[in-house]
Amino acid sequence: MKSSNQFSDALHVMAHLVGQDGPRTSEQLATCLPTHPVVIRRLLAMLQKGGLVANVRGHGGGSQLARDPAGITLHDVYVAIGAPPLLHTGARDSGRGCPVQQVVNAALDDSYRQAQALLEQRLRGTTLATLGADFARHLAHHAAGVSP
Q: Within a domain: residue 1?
A: no
Question: Which helix (H) or strand (E) covers residue 55, if one does?
Answer: strand 53-56
What does the pLDDT read at residue 59? 84
Q: With bands split at pLDDT 50, 70 and 90, how would you rate the model's confidence at 21?
A: confident
Residue 23 forms part of a structural domain: yes
Q: What is the pLDDT of residues 109-136, one digit of tens each?
A: 888 888 989 999 999 999 999 988 888 8
CATH number of domain containing 122: 1.10.10.10
Residue 80's pLDDT band, with cuts at 50, 70 and 90, is: very high
Q: How many CB atoms lie within 10 A of CB 16?
A: 18
At residue 1 the predicted structure's pLDDT band, cuts being 50, 70 and 90, is very low
- DSSP code string of 61-103: -EEEESS-GGG-BHHHHHHHTT---S------S--SS-HHHHH
As for how many domains the chain has, the answer is 1
State which residues form the domain around 129: 6-144
Segment 2-13, tens digit of pLDDT: 345 899 999 999
* Whether 24 contacts 17, CB under 8 Å: yes
- Helix H or strand E segment including 40: helix 37-49
